[in-house]
């Protein structure tokens, strides 16, 4: 990334109301998975509502490098000409995942059983992120994977014969679960994965959409290797994690109401709604009838007085990507909010616990950084200068803080917002935020 690119910033003026209707772009998690499964399916997969972001385009470019023909009639439509389970070929160079943690970890599972070698790299942020918790179960299946001190580059040595395993996840992680399930497609026998707490189940739902037979029983999912995938049509709903910023803005400042249309409301993703409702939020979920594999709804949010809560730990995995936005709600609420059991936030694009504690402190909010969470004393937010640490969700969260701030907020290093939500500034302005980028 060039120096000029990395120095991009937002300047956000205080506002007192957001309102209207908007629609956020397609779900990033579903877009990644649709491309990958489409690449190893037989026949054509058409993806509608694809997220045209840097992260998803990194997955698309990697699949093309692996020999998959992909057309893009427009920015949100993709046609993937699947090569079947045995059709991928060795890439001529390392596969660059950019900033996409989901992509690199899922590709580890997808490539673990291939007959050729692969190397996965990324940008400076991704090259610092831990990969061993994915590599470890894949090695138990027989994969030959090397990392450097547990981090990328990830080198996958081909020709390994994968064997099914029964794996109990030590921590709740949809990325680890998904990587093991993707590898299981190429393994001999029946693989089972058991998780300690529910995590997003997009991979399981999508595998079934591609014709894969799997069994779900409580916290366990089982999948027999060797099954073919059939191309299909995918409708990608709006990304709940992107909607989260506007949900929080609406809870704080939508006195006349704010509606976010066509949002994916998979129950393994919507812990934020439960947490905000515990705080007193006024959120109405209007489900679309006849939705396909992924439930879809319009969300209608009205401002309401919020109060601090102790977040139940069972909700943490269901809201792991939404915590930066949630912490803004906690900062503007009356009283204390306590989050524990969220140590996973320390190994995202940044240490999100430390980054949010630092930023909230700069806005005048009393905040205690815990080993696995935050204790936030709600209060009046001043303005100030925020370092996003190159983390897209930190940047967008503090932009939303402007609806409760008394003075302007300047947010540094916001270029990586394009990895997940390139339209964020425009949609934020449409909802009433005064954001300059």
Task: Round to whole Å and give the CA distance between 262 and 299.
Answer: 8
Report residue 104 CA to chain centroid gap.
Answer: 13
Structure-token pair, residue 180: 């093991």
Cα separation, 256 vs 242, whole angstroms: 21
- Which residues are registered as beta bridge partners of 77? 48, 74
Is-contact 135 145, C-beta < 8 A? yes
Residues near 166 by Cβ (< 8 Å), separated by ≥ 6? 191, 192, 194
CA quadruple 89, 173, 296, 284: dihedral, nearest 10: -160
Helix and strand numbers, DSSP H then E, in the chain: 13, 23
Tell me, what DSSP letter sits at residue 348?
S
Contact partners, residue 94, CB within 8 Å, separation at least 6 = 119, 120, 121, 153
Of 55, 96, 321, 413, catalytic: 321
Radius of gyration of the chain measured on its C-alpha atoms: 21
Query: Among 225, 232, 230, which Cα is nearest to 211's?
Result: 230
The answer to whether residue 117 is catalytic is no
Among 299, 305, 327, which residue's Cα sits nearest to residue 401? Answer: 327
Query: Do residues 76 and 49 make contact, with C-beta atoms less than 8 angstroms apart?
Result: yes
Q: How far is CA 111 from CA 122, 130, 154, 187, in A?
A: 16, 18, 11, 12
Listed residue (350, 365, 348) closest to 406, CA to CA = 365
Assigned token pair, 119: 């190397």
Does residue 15 have a cis bond before it (omega within 30 degrees)? no
Q: Which residues are catalytic?
A: 321
């Amino acid at each position: 990334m060039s120096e000029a690119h990395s120095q991009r910033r937002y300047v956000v003026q205080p506002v007192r109301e957001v309102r209207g209707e908007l629609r956020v772009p397609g779900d990033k998690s579903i877009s990644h998975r649709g491309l990958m499964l489409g690449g190893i399916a037989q026949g054509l997969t058409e993806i509608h509502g694809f997220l045209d972001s840097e992260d998803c385009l990194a997955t698309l470019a990697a699949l093309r490098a692996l020999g998959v023909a992909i057309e893009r009639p427009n920015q949100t439509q993709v046609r993937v000409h699947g090569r079947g389970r045995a059709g991928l070929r060795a890439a001529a160079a390392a596969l660059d995942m950019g900033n996409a943690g989901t992509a690199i970890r899922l590709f580890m599972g997808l490539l673990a059983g291939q007959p050729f070698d692969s190397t996965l790299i990324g940008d400076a942020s991704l090259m610092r992120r831990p990969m061993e918790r994915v590599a470890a179960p894949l090695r138990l299946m027989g994969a030959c994977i090397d990392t450097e001190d547990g981090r990328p580059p990830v080198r996958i040595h081909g020709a390994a014969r994968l064997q099914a395993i029964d794996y109990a996840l030590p921590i709740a992680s949809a990325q680890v679960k998904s990587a093991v399930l993707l590898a299981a497609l190429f393994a001999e026998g029946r693989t089972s994965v058991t998780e300690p707490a529910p995590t997003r189940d997009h991979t399981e739902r999508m595998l079934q959409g591609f014709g894969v037979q799997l069994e779900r029983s409580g916290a366990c999912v089982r999948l027999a290797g060797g099954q073919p995938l059939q191309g299909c049509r995918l409708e990608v709903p709006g990304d709940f994690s992107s909607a989260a910023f506007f949900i929080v803005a609406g809870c704080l400042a939508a006195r006349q109401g704010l509606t976010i249309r066509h949002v994916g409301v998979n129950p393994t993703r919507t812990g934020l709604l439960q947490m905000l409702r515990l705080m007193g939020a006024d959120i109405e979920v209007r489900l679309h009838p006849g939705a396909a594999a992924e439930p879809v709804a319009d969300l209608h949010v009205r401002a309401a007085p919020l109060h601090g809560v102790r977040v139940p730990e069972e909700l943490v995995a269901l809201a792991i990507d939404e915590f930066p936005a949630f912490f803004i709600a906690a900062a503007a609420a009356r009283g204390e909010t306590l989050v524990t059991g969220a140590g996973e936030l320390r190994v995202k694009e940044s240490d999100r616990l430390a980054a949010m504690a630092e930023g909230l402190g700069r806005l005048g909010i009393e905040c205690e950084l815990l080993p696995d969470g935050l204790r936030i004393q709600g209060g009046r937010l001043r303005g100030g200068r925020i370092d996003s640490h190159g983390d897209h969700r930190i940047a967008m969260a503090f932009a939303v803080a402007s609806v409760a701030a008394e003075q302007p907020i300047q947010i540094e290093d916001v270029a990586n917002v394009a990895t997940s939500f390139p339209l964020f500034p425009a949609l934020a302005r449409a909802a009433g935020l005064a954001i300059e980028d």
